[in-house]
Structures are given as structure tokens and as C-alpha cells.
Amino acid sequence: MEIAGTLRTAREMGLVACTSCTRVWPAGTDRCGRCGHRLHTRAPLALQRVWAWWLVGVIAYVPANLYPMLSTRTLVASQEATIVGGAIEIARHGNWGIALVILTASVAIPLGKFLAIAMLALGVRHGSALSGSRRQQLYQVVEYIGRWSMIDVFVVAILASLVQLGAVASVSPGPASLFFALSVIFTMLSAQSFDSRLIWDAEREGRRA
Amino acid sequence: MTPLDVPQPLPPAPQAIGPDLAALIACPRCDAVYRAVQPGPGERAVCARCNTVLIAPRRRAGQQLIAVAVAVVVLVVAATLAPFLAIEVAGRSNASSVLDAALAFAAAGPVAMLALAVAALIVFIPVLRALLVIYVLGPVVLDRPPAPHAAAAFRLSEELRPWSMAEIFVIGCAIALVKIADLAQVHFGPAFWMFAALVVLVVVQDGFMCRYSVWKSLER
Ligand SMILES: [Zn+2]
Ligand SMILES: [Zn+2]
């Protein structure tokens, strides 16, 4: 249901909105009187912060793939597996489904997140082929899916605590688990720093131009 | 009788800014301003521009949320100590609790700080959020004035929401299980089922929570 023409933003009305509790205040108010949240018409340096977290997220993702995620020691052999190496190993045993899940969760989703955040941030500056509501949906998907990448770190923790059978078999976490966790956390912070109101500002200005 | 869950568009804000800003509501995602109109219980008011749900009150939501929060605290504490997975290989067996899983990183030197992070994400933050909800909504449900610093407590609980990952941990258990299924015999322990129940509770909690209604009730 479109309410044409009359829809205005808090900024256009000379107000500042609280993103924490949705209350509006006269522009220039410092803190929300209802919830105590800091008020900003638009988060200051929002894009710089997005890019800073994004960059450390990408950087942490490199060693996450180079170092082993898990090292397994059994009676007959001992091996260390990286994320991709482990998935290939599982696929070789015929477990295609699991290999696909691992590759999706640890490779496709993180790379997709990096791409999506970069697209959203670039779209604010340079315009985007996608409509505002499409980009808003993309942002919500990134926010929702970001936490789920942590699943890999949890799997490593579970395996390492469970498979402690002395000489028979034991699993211990590799350094990649730390870098992977950091990469997930940094990417979540990057997505949280993004002020989605910027999507709609750019769209309005684009329409006027 | 209105059907459940039909989005009710809010009227846009009046042109002239009156002194009564408390009657307005701004979409936190796109900054559009509306005149706040309380929809009936079970109905939702959504942003006309970006479809974000702005108001979604429910009858007796306060009591239900407190009940869920108490259950979350009990479940997490119980599930932390009881074993959630047990493994058996060539006569040797090992059972692991959530605490063991978190501490798995502690033994491994350079990744020790991960132990703390994992424990926080799956135990401390979910419990803290539940306690904050009880603290904030308790007085509201009993028709008492809000507890001291209730607004700050509720804001903290909302900010912690993405960092509460108990439900992700449960799915992690299932994947870990499949990964070692051909290596060893694995059994679910009681804590696994407690955590599975927890997942349902977390989903229910987020579905019942109308942030606008909570903020309104803290305003008095
Ligand atoms: Zn506020
Ligand atoms: Zn909106």
C-alpha cells in the first residue's frame, strides 16, 4: 500500500529519530529521552566504519583458509585439514551433501557477505541498479545470515571436546578456527555499522536528480 | 474481527509538526515518520516504504515473555552441566557438556581466547538477555513503576540479540554428529534435547516481543 507524496523522513521534518526505540526528537537533541541511546540523524562516519570492519574481516578470512581448522589423530594416521581441504576429503568419501553444507557455510556465505556489504556501501556513494527495497532486503539477509557462519567454529569446538579418546582418536582445534571466528565477528560488526537509512536517502536524491 | 497478521499501514505524520512528538514513530531502518496508531492485539503495523514491522502488540505478551525467559535460564544452566553428546569407539567412550565444548579451545594455547568467546555466545549472553527481560518486564506485568535503569537494561538486551547464539550451537551439534558418524557411535545426551527446546523458546521469544509496546510501558 503506497502512501504517495506525503511520506517524509524524520530528517526532512527537522527531527532526529532514535534507531533504538523509534521515538523522534527535535533535530540536534543529543540523547534519546526515552531509552538513552545516542541520537544521530545519520550515523557519523558510518561508511568508513563499515569499510574498516569489512577490511579486517576480509584479512582475517585469508589465514582462516590457509591454516588447518582441525587436526585429527587416530591410531593409524594423523592429519590436519583446512576448511576447503576438509570438505574435499569428505566429498571423496562420498558424503557430497555434508561437503556441500560445509562449503556453503564456510566459503560461499562468507564471500557472499563480503560482496553484499561492499555492494551496499558502494551503492550509497555511487548509486545502484537495485531498488531501495531490494537493497533493504539484501541488508536484512546479510544481517540474518551473518551469525550463522559461526556454526563452523562451534562444530570444531564440539568435535575437539567430544573426540578425546586417548590414543584411539583425538581432535584438536587449529589456528584457522580463531581467524575464522574473528572474520565472522568483524563482518557482523561491519554489517551492524551500516546505517540502512542511507539506502533510502540515496534513492530519494536519485529520483530528484 | 480482524484477521491475524494482516499488516496495517500507519498514517503518515501530519504536515505541521505539533509539539506532541511522542505521538509519532520513525522507522529505524528508513527514517520514514508516521503517526503511531496502536493496532489491535495480533495485528501488525508496518512501514509503508520498507516493510519493517514497527508495532506488533500481543495479549499478555509480558507474562509469556517472562515465562519464556525463566525457562531459558533454567535450561541453559542445566544444559551447560549435563552431557549433550556422547561418543563410543572401540570400547572407549567420552561424554561432552557445553562447558567442555567451550573449554576445548582453552587447552589449545593460541586459540584460548576462543574458549571465552564460545562460552559467552552460547551460555552467558543468552542467560544475561533472559535475566534482563525478567528485570525489565517484571514490574510492568505487576503494574509497578519501571525498575531503576530499566531503559538501559532493555537497550542492552536488544543490542545483545545478534550475539546470542545458542540456537546456532544446536545445529552445530547435528553437523558434528554427522561428521563423525562413520568414525564412532554417537548418542545425544539429555542436554542436547534441552538445547533443542531452547531453540524453540528463543524463536517464540522474538516472535512475542513488541519493542514499541515495551518502550511505551517504560515511559510512564
Ligand atoms: Zn530511544
Ligand atoms: Zn521503513
Is the model's pLDDT at B170 over the cut of 90? no
Separation of CA B45 and ligand 2 centre (Å): 11
Task: Categorize the per-residue pLDDT at A172 as very low, low, confident or very high, splitting at 50, 70 and 90.
Answer: confident
A197 has a chain B CB within 8 A of its CB: yes
B120 has a chain A CB within 8 A of its CB: no
ipTM of the complex: 0.85
Q: Which three cell numbers stand for residue A116?
A: 553484499
| Neighboring chain A residues of B211 at a CB cutoff of 8 Å | 21-22
Task: Categorize the per-residue pLDDT at B89 as very low, low, confident or very high, splitting at 50, 70 and 90.
Answer: confident
Residues B84, B168: one domain? yes
The more confident residue out of A28 and B19 is A28
- Per-residue model confidence (pLDDT) at position A17: 93
The more confident residue out of B102 and B209 is B209
Q: Which residues of B, range 31-60, sit inside 8 Å of A by Cβ?
A: 31-33, 48-51, 54
Interval B14-42 mean pLDDT: 80
Task: Categorize the per-residue pLDDT at A190 as very low, low, confident or very high, splitting at 50, 70 and 90.
Answer: very high
All structural domains of chain A, each given as residue ranges with its CATH number in brackets, are: 1-41 (no CATH), 45-208 (1.20.140)
Size of interface A-B (CB pairs under 8 A): 221
- Per-residue model confidence (pLDDT) at position B135: 95
Facing residue for B175 by CB, picked from A22, A101, A136? A101
Residue B117: half-sphere exposure toward Cβ, Cα within 13 Å: 17
Residues B47, B139: one domain? no
Is the model's pLDDT at B108 over the cut of 70? no
Residues B119, B157: one domain? yes
Residues B177, B86: one domain? yes
Interval A91-102 mean pLDDT: 82
Q: How far apart are CA B83 and CA B99, in angstroms?
A: 9
B158 has a chain A CB within 8 A of its CB: yes
Q: How far apart are CA B117 and CA B122, in angstroms?
A: 9
Q: Residue B22: which domain range? A: 14-55
- The verdict on residue B6 lying in a domain is no
Burial A191-202 (b: 16+ CB within 10 A, else e): bebbbbbbbbbb
